[in-house]
Amino acid sequence: MAYPVLAELKTFMGIAGATYDTNLTTALAAAIKDIELYCGRVFVAASAAKEFAIAWPYVGKRRDRLNTFAEFTAVTTLVNGDGTTIASGDYTLYPTAAPHYMITLNPDSGLFFWNGGDSTPITLTADWGYSADVADDLERAILLTAQQFYYESVQGEEVLTMRPSVRRVLDRYKRGVL
């Protein structure tokens, strides 16, 4: 399941018609962004290519480890700085269960991260984010936060506090330091 959408928020709040769609859409987007910032992670993975310099802090001294400092759920392609595509059997993802944030080249592969002496980076195409789906408790936290943002914006108030029930859920998803 992806992030909640407008129709789900309207059903959750018992709102029919399109009169408030703009405000509801704004509240939902703000809730998702607020929760991502609070937890320090993007929850729904999306495919993208990212480049990493072949230098510290991304690549260690032995040039066998790539720390992305970002979570990903699956690798599509890993291209070394010299343009060579590295086969999935030649590396290990860490932690072993998703979400991952590091790739270590297997010692028996004979490979190391290299760019041929120029500044060409490593390119990692992956599904970047915490998971392919949003967990049910997290979806409810997003909907509750969007509802709060909507009602407080209609009343002309600034949202200053997060509901304790939402905070308890989100605290379980807060990202630690990688």
Secondary structure of 88-136 as H, E, C letters: HHHEEEECCCCCEEEEEECHHHCCCCCCCCCCCCEEEEEEECCECCCCH
Q: Is the dihedral of CA 43, 45, 46, 47 positive or negative?
A: positive
Q: Give 78's strand partners.
A: 124
- Are 12 and 147 in contact by the 8 Å Cβ rule? The answer is yes
Q: What is the pLDDT of residue 1?
A: 61
Whole-angstrom distance, CA of residue 125 vs CA of residue 48 = 6
| Coil, helix or strand at residue 77 | strand
pLDDT value of residue 161: 82
Q: 99: which 2 tokens?
A: 């979400």
Say if CB 151 and CB 13 are below 8 A apart.
no
Tell me which residue of 27, 37, 1, 33 sits closest to 144, measured CA to CA. 27
11-21 burial, b at 16+ Cβ within 10 Å, e below that, comes to ebbebeeeebe
Q: At how many degrees (to 10) do helices 21-39 and 6-13 cross?
A: 100
The length of the chain in residues reads: 178
Which residue numbers in the chain have pLDDT < 70?
1, 159, 177-178
Whether the CA torsion 171, 136, 42, 132 is positive or negative: it is positive
Q: State the pLDDT at residue 115.
A: 82
